[in-house]
Amino acid sequence: MTENHQDKLEAIIDEMLLEDPETSYDTLAKWCARYPEHRDALTRFAATRAVQKSLPEGSQIDEARITSRLMSHALSIMHRQGAAARDTAEAVTTRLCEAITESGIPEEEFSRRCNLDETLIAKLNRRLIPVASIPRVAFELIASTIAREVAFVRAMLTGDPIPLGAHKSRSRPAARTEDFLDAVKSSNLSEEAKSEWIRIIEAERKNEGT
């Protein structure tokens, strides 16, 4: 991930404080020389710190109320994460076709709503398409169609390719993976539907690049 301007500034201030919690003028001047592009922000920060230090004791706050509010925030996060973890644990053992069946939606209807044909569904079901190549729109369409979270769908489609249960040759054939785009091109979707997926993939790639 590209570090943005604010993240970089925060990291610099953290290090400056770590080196000199009092942020003396010499320390400030040194860090301004090291990061001249952040001179004004560093200076403002040091000035704010100095003014705060010079102020007498501040307002009394209702500590009990704030503790209660922050603990509520913490418990809410832990609850959400716990639910997500349970959902993910369930997802990794669930196959797409099972999830479609559980949702009660006929596979034809699923195909229509998600703009996927049976070959694409079969490849997604066997995790033959790397998730990194699957467009965000596809996750969202699948998730809304089967009424699950996007994270659940992502986890469900993530993992090692699943080999076929039955095969004619003596040795089990290697499960060959292919990108979502290649799978679309080799699918039985209409040309119009293929073009739409290609447009979506290109748009998402363009957005990621900016």
- CA atoms of 103 and 143, how far apart (whole Å): 11
Q: Is 163 in the site for other proteins (CB under 8 A)?
A: no
Between residue 72 and residue 101, which ones bind other proteins under the rule CB under 8 A? 73-75, 77-78, 81-82
- CA atoms of 196 and 165, how far apart (whole Å): 33
Question: Of 2, 4, 52, 207, which one interacts with other proteins (CB under 8 A)?
Answer: 52
Between residue 106 and residue 145, which ones bind other proteins under the rule CB under 8 A? none
Q: Distance of CA 48 to CAs 7, 9, 21, 34, Å?
A: 19, 16, 13, 20
Q: Where are the alpha helices (DSSP H) in the chain?
A: 5-19, 25-34, 39-54, 63-92, 96-103, 107-114, 118-125, 136-146, 150-157, 180-185, 191-209
Q: Is 17 in the site for other proteins (CB under 8 A)?
A: yes
Question: Of 2, 4, 5, 33, which one interacts with other proteins (CB under 8 A)?
Answer: 33
Contact letters for other proteins, residues 164-203 (x by CB under 8 A): ----------------------------------------
Q: Is 162 in the site for other proteins (CB under 8 A)?
A: no
Answer whether 184's CB lies under 8 Å from 138's CB: no
- CA atoms of 208 and 192, how far apart (whole Å): 25
Q: Is 59 in the site for other proteins (CB under 8 A)?
A: yes
Question: Minimum CB separation from other proteins for residue 87, in Å?
Answer: 13
Kindly state the number of chain residues that form the binding site for other proteins, as judged by CB under 8 A.
55
Closest CA to 136 of 150, 119, 118, 124: 150
Answer whether 145's CB lies under 8 Å from 114's CB: yes
Question: Of 29, 131, 137, 150, which one interacts with other proteins (CB under 8 A)?
Answer: 29
Question: Of 2, 38, 39, 186, which one interacts with other proteins (CB under 8 A)?
Answer: 39
CA angle 161, 166, 172 (to 5 degrees): 60
Sites of contact with other proteins (CB under 8 A): 7, 10-15, 17-21, 24-25, 28-29, 32-33, 36, 39, 42-63, 65-67, 69-71, 73-75, 77-78, 81-82
